[in-house]
Amino acid sequence: MSIIDMRLSLAACLKKGIDSINPEAGLSVAEIADMFEYPPDDKLGDLALPCFKFAKTLRKAPPMIANELSASLEGAEGVAEVQVAGGYLNIFIERESFARDIVAEVNSKGEAYGRLTVGEGKTVVLDYSSPNVAKPFHIGHLGTTVIGHSLKMLHEFAGYKCVGVNHLGDWGTQFGKLIVAYRKWGNKEEIEAGGIDALVAIYVKFHEEAEKDETLEDQARAEFTALENGDEENLKLWKWFIEISIEEYKKTYAQLGIEFDSYAGESFYYDKCAPVIEKLKDAAITKVDDGATIVDLSEYNMPPCLILKRDGSTIYATRDIAAALYRKETYDFDKCIYVTSAGQSLHFAQWFKVVEMMGYDWADRLIHVPYGTVSIDGAKLATRTGNVVLLKDLFAQATDKVLGIMNEKNPELPDKEAVAEAVGVGAIVFHYLSNNRIKDINFKLDDVLKFDGNTGPYCQYTYARCASILSKAGSVAEPCDYTDITEEEYQLTKTLSRFPESVESALDSSEPMMITRYILDVATAFNRFYHECQILSCEDEKVRERRVALTNAVHTVLGSAFGLICMKKTEKI
């Protein structure tokens, strides 16, 4: 019985007690199950029910409620003891049967353990990463990329059919700038040799020169207008810039284990905007203000949503609405999630409201998942000034550092370059996702590349340690004897039981940090168990069998959890 099942089972018993006190209490089993807490000290039990939450409904003092409800749990399945402590009901689980059931369930289900069914028969579209073409993939893109992919993996784990969309920033005046820069300072051979770095170099040069010559901005606008009007030469250059960019981006995605189902960017929706304009007009929600077409949102305490600029050209909101309509028609999504910086929250709130005003009843299925900003040693990132730390460079630094450690400690390790990359990249991803996603992050590169303490490498090393034990053990027996299990064995088992709950919490809150924290809990509990309990050298065959089975369960759960946060499994380090 998992900890979730245990809570539901206890809640069903408690509901009978609550209803006997007040038949009109109206609390469901699920509501009661959600009220359980984990005590701060294991001496206070495995689960605690704060009865303060029932005081108003049951019209009694919490200690009295706790005392009366304790009788509801007498003889409850899986319960060893119930204690009343003030207004709390402290519950101690029957350890041996609980541990046996959890480990057997993990080892029986394997990678299916912890999976949810809430998404079965449903589709979710996830719009994430979405870098601006011809600009470098820098550390500022890490958030949308790893948060977005983690959410995709969480939804797949919960049974959803997922569509990952990389909504490339492949349209706008920056391409006019790039075309001007290429014709003035670039050539085909240098760009093909240097790839996206060469494109960035001429883009940065454009802004340096534009400070001296203001006419360059006018030239850029003219070239983009020509591109919009279908100029053959400009279209050819634009497509070339996109090809170079995607080729480079895919290298970084491969390091993270990410693949997308669609690379349809802004340009894909350019010719789909006209029907949107007509639908907006048909809905009678637009008006012209100073030559621009807007939707007035003052009733909703928001600035107006700009639909068409004074020159009649579309803007981000128009293309985002067109994209949402296309995705609903193409994928018939149950949810469409957008992972972007918190700075774009107003933009999404505005056009989400416009879709609702257009009469689409699925507007409430459009979800913005914001995240905080990233700076490097306190300095804001800016492509035009060249103040960026490229992800490929950061990944290379981390990989080189790990490789150096491996050459010193385990020089004969097979495929050590691939392992070093998995650990180095994993260190950066884990460091980022260890923070609440909405929190602004100041990356200090020395901190990012630390591998001791609560880090990704520590967790991947724990996974490799499990793999090594299992390789030597040869086989895993089930079921096992859990008589007289140690405190370390039980606490590790209890931690494993929380995996489905952690997945559910991460999914409900769109917060990958829930998984990184859980991984650390498992790694910490396992290493405590490893240091306190003999495994392979244990002379008692029954004890050895259960400890190998427990190690196998840890290996399975860690591997599944890694997959939910863009971290690769490392069988050897």
Whether residue 194 is found in the same domain as residue 240: yes
Q: Are 471 and 572 in contact (CB under 8 A)?
A: no
Q: 165 pLDDT band (50/70/90 cuts)?
A: very high
* Residues 270-287: tens digit of each pLDDT: 889 999 999 999 999 999
* Structural domain boundaries enclosing 52: 3-93
The count of domains in the chain is: 3
- H-assigned helices in 315-444: 316-331, 345-357, 391-409, 416-433
Q: Name the least confident of 418-422, 477-481, 483-487, 538-542.
A: 477-481
Residue 20 DSSP SS3: helix
Q: How far is CA 44 from CA 84, 90, 171, 332, in A?
A: 10, 6, 60, 49
User: Of 326, 321, 199, 316, which Cα lies nearest the Cα of 262?
Assistant: 326
Which span out of 167-176, 200-209, 524-533 was modeled with the highest average pLDDT?
524-533
Residue located via tokens 């304009």: 277
Other C-beta atoms closer than 10 Å to the C-beta of 428 total 26
pLDDT > 70 in the chain, percent: 98
Rg, C-alpha atoms of the chain: 28
d(CA 83, CA 536) in angstroms, rounded, equals: 38
Flag whether pLDDT at 132 surpasses 80. Answer: yes
How many H-runs (helices) and E-runs (strands) does the chain carry?
A: 22, 13
d(CA 232, CA 239) in angstroms, rounded, equals: 11
- H-assigned helices in 211-290: 215-228, 232-256, 273-282
Q: Are 427 and 261 in contact (CB under 8 A)?
A: no
pLDDT of residue 448: 75
d(CA 399, CA 371) in angstroms, rounded, equals: 26
Residue 353 lies in a domain: yes
- Of the residues 93, 111, 136, which one is the last residue of a structural domain? 93
d(CA 127, CA 145) in angstroms, rounded, equals: 10
Give the mean model confidence (pLDDT) for residues 512-531: 98
pLDDT of residue 375: 76
Whether residue 272 is found in the same domain as residue 350: yes
Whether residue 333 is found in the same domain as residue 404: no
Residue 214 lies in a domain: yes
Whether residue 175 is found in the same domain as residue 200: yes
- Of the residues 334, 355, 385, which one is the last residue of a structural domain? 385
Whether residue 377 is found in the same domain as residue 439: no
d(CA 263, CA 369) in angstroms, rounded, equals: 20
CATH of residue 39's domain is 3.30.1360.70
Q: How far is CA 237 from CA 179, 181, 191, 338, in A?
A: 7, 12, 11, 29
Flag whether pLDDT at 154 surpasses 70. Answer: yes
Residue 109 lies in a domain: no
Whether residue 138 is found in the same domain as residue 33: no
- What are the φ/ψ torsions at residue 449 (nearest 5 degrees)? -95, 15
pLDDT of residue 453: 83
Flag whether pLDDT at 381 surpasses 60. Answer: no
Whether residue 272 is found in the same domain as residue 149: yes
Q: 320 pLDDT band (50/70/90 cuts)?
A: very high
The mean pLDDT value of the chain amounts to 93
Q: Name the least confident of 23-27, 32-36, 315-319.
A: 23-27
Residue 344 lies in a domain: yes
- Determine the residue type at 340: T
Q: Note if the pTM is more than 0.75.
A: yes
DSSP 288: E
Q: 442 pLDDT band (50/70/90 cuts)?
A: confident
* Residues 443-487: tens digit of each pLDDT: 776 777 777 788 999 999 999 999 999 999 988 988 899 999 999
Residue 307 lies in a domain: yes
Q: How far is CA 289 from CA 295, 306, 348, in A?
A: 10, 10, 21
Q: Are 431 and 456 in contact (CB under 8 A)?
A: yes
